[in-house]
């Protein structure tokens, strides 16, 4: 599934006048201090959002790509301080609000606050050694996500300015957490959106993979060739919750990636049978290793999810529990219509594989697909997910009867992925738990 239906990169790319812009540096590791004097970026109007687009910028005063700048409104009102990149459609990412200029201690406070939430408030160290330490805007670090995998901090940068500072930030964060190694990668769309290529940065001696655990279940995390930072911590609580539904049941994990749901269904959930399906060969190899690490037996199939579901429908196969967790199908507004249709088609087929009275857990990480629209999509899919009805005449197309569907719960990302009050787009993961009669 992930290989065939990976959407085209989003964003409108580089500005047309990019050739006239000052050069950007990715080789330099920026410190956390301010230029003297600090450059100024003036906006056309006052803006409260963390993300400020290039069309909202009126002018910039000697600011180079990646600079930390003071952000002002056209009337002179000082909005705050942020990272600037005129090459990007998202030109300013606001880091601090108010008049007080940030210092190195201001950065340290951001990191300490993020760690305190995970360790003292959520007490994650009691159940896992892998979790998101910094969730971009939600933790005051727009353009940067950092996950902890045991002794390794793995970061994904979306912003040139944050990439330039990531080495220093991860070193300071390692001092708080006691971790030993760092991996810094960029998002797949980084070059197009930020206007420059940025190579991965891996600390000397960093292992190519590590074994982590959540709720006692072990998982292999590989740092090269994977998605995001290496492992999806956001589904941790949903994986554990699914295990409550799987004792003695047959389970189908569609778009299984490295087998998170599949392995937990066996390890924590004592499922009778588990089948994981994904199109990508490399993640499936890791999924098999994860099953072996936990001494559980699960079957993993390399196949396009659509083709696999249609084959199962033709043979009349049903599962007690079905998990559908596809990759991001909508990366920008131009893909909303096509991505929504794909979600509908996937869910309609998945519903046909659920045994009467069984459970479907359907997820979407496409933040542009609003939760209300996702719920309407699922209800519509259920109305077409029953047995095929033979057409009365040859001219009419076959149609499907409805299935009775009840949504029993709606969940999101694990709490180490908090939602920022000023940045609703950080609430990106929707998971619907449905019983199908």
309 within a domain of the structure (yes/no): yes
124: burial class by Cβ within 10 Å (0-12, 13-18, 19+)?
buried
217 within a domain of the structure (yes/no): no
Domain CATH for 77: 2.30.130.10
Domain CATH for 126: 3.30.750.80
CA-to-CA distance for 112 and 169, rounded, in angstroms? 11
Residues 252 and 385 reside in one and the same domain: yes
pLDDT tens digits for range 312-364: 999 999 999 999 999 999 888 899 999 999 999 999 999 999 999 999 999 99
Residue with tokens 């982590």: 212
Predicted confidence at residue 23, as pLDDT, reads: 65
Q: Tell me what percent of the residues of the chain surpass a pLDDT of 70.
A: 89
Predicted confidence at residue 17, as pLDDT, reads: 41
Higher pLDDT among residues 408 and 426, named by residue = 408
| DSSP letter, residue 142 | T
Domain boundary, last residue among 97, 117, 140: 97
229: burial class by Cβ within 10 Å (0-12, 13-18, 19+)?
buried
Q: Is the pLDDT of residue 236 over 80?
A: yes
20 within a domain of the structure (yes/no): no
CA-to-CA distance for 198 and 163, rounded, in angstroms? 8
Residues 358 and 408 reside in one and the same domain: yes
For residues 190-217, give the mean pLDDT.
Answer: 94
Phi, psi of 28 (to 5 degrees): -75, 135
Contacting residues for 168 by C-beta, under 8 A, at least 6 apart: 29, 30, 31, 32
140 within a domain of the structure (yes/no): yes
418 within a domain of the structure (yes/no): yes
* CA atoms within 13 Å, Cβ hemisphere of 359: 19
Domain boundary, last residue among 74, 97, 120: 97
Predicted confidence at residue 6, as pLDDT, reads: 34
15: burial class by Cβ within 10 Å (0-12, 13-18, 19+)?
middle
Residues 68 and 189 reside in one and the same domain: no
Residues 82 and 143 reside in one and the same domain: no
Residues 87 and 117 reside in one and the same domain: no
Secondary structure class of 112 (helix, strand, coil): helix
CA-to-CA distance for 254 and 275, rounded, in angstroms? 8
Residues 409 and 312 reside in one and the same domain: yes
pLDDT tens digits for range 137-147: 999 999 999 99
Q: Say how many domains are in the chain.
A: 3
Residues 387 and 270 reside in one and the same domain: yes
Residue 395 pLDDT level (bands cut at 50, 70, 90): low
Contact 67, 86 (CB under 8 A): no
Q: Which domain holds residue 173?
A: 104-208
374 within a domain of the structure (yes/no): yes
**How far from 306 is each of 278, 282, 284, 313, 419, CA to CA, in Å?**
10, 19, 17, 11, 32
| DSSP letter, residue 423 | B
290 within a domain of the structure (yes/no): yes
Residues 246 and 195 reside in one and the same domain: no
Residues 266 and 193 reside in one and the same domain: no
């Amino acid at each position: 599934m992930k290989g065939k239906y990976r959407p085209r990169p989003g964003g409108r790319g580089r500005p047309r006048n990019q050739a006239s812009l000052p050069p950007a540096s990715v080789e330099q590791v920026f410190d956390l201090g301010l230029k003297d004097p600090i450059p100024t970026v003036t906006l056309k109007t006052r803006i409260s959002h963390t993300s400020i687009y290039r069309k909202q910028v009126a002018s910039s005063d000697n600011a180079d790509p990646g600079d930390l700048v003071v952000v002002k409104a056209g009337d002179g009102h000082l909005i705050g301080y942020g990272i600037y990149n005129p090459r990007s459609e998202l030109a300013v990412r606001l880091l601090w609000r108010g008049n007080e200029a940030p210092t190195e201690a201001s950065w340290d406070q951001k990191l300490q606050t993020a760690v305190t939430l995970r360790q003292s408030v959520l007490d994650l160290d009691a159940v896992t050694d892998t979790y998101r330490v910094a969730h971009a805007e939600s933790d005051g670090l727009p353009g940067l996500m950092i996950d902890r995998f045991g002794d390794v901090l793995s970061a994904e940068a979306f912003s040139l300015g944050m990439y330039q500072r990531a080495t220093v930030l991860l070193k300071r964060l390692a001092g708080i957490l006691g971790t030993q190694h760092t991996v810094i990668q960029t998002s797949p769309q980084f070059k197009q959106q930020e206007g420059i290529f940025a190579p991965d940065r891996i600390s000397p001696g960093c292992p190519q993979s590590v074994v982590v655990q959540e709720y006692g279940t072990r998982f292999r995390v590989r740092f090269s060739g994977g998605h995001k930072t290496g492992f999806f911590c956001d589904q941790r609580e949903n994986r554990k919750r699914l295990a409550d539904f799987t004792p003695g049941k047959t389970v189908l994990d569609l778009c299984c990636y490295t087998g998170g749901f599949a392995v937990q269904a066996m390890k924590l959930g004592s499922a009778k049978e588990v089948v994981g399906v994904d199109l990508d060969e490399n993640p499936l190899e890791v999924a098999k290793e994860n099953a072996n690490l936990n001494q559980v037996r699960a079957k993993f199939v390399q196949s396009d999810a659509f083709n696999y579901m249609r084959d199962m429908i033709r043979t009349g196969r049903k599962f007690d529990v079905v998990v559908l967790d596809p990759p991001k199908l909508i990366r920008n507004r131009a893909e909303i219509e096509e991505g929504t249709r794909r979600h509908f088609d996937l869910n309609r087929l998945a519903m046909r594989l659920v045994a009467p009275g069984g459970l479907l857990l359907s997820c979407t990480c496409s933040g542009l697909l609003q939760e209300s629209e996702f719920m309407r999509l699922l209800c519509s899919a259920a109305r077409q997910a029953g047995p095929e009805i033979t057409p009365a005449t040859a001219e009419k197309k076959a149609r499907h009867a409805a299935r009775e569907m009840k949504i029993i719960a709606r969940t999101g990302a694990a709490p180490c992925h908090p939602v920022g009050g000023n940045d609703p787009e950080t609430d990106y993961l929707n998971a619907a738990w449905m019983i199908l009669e």
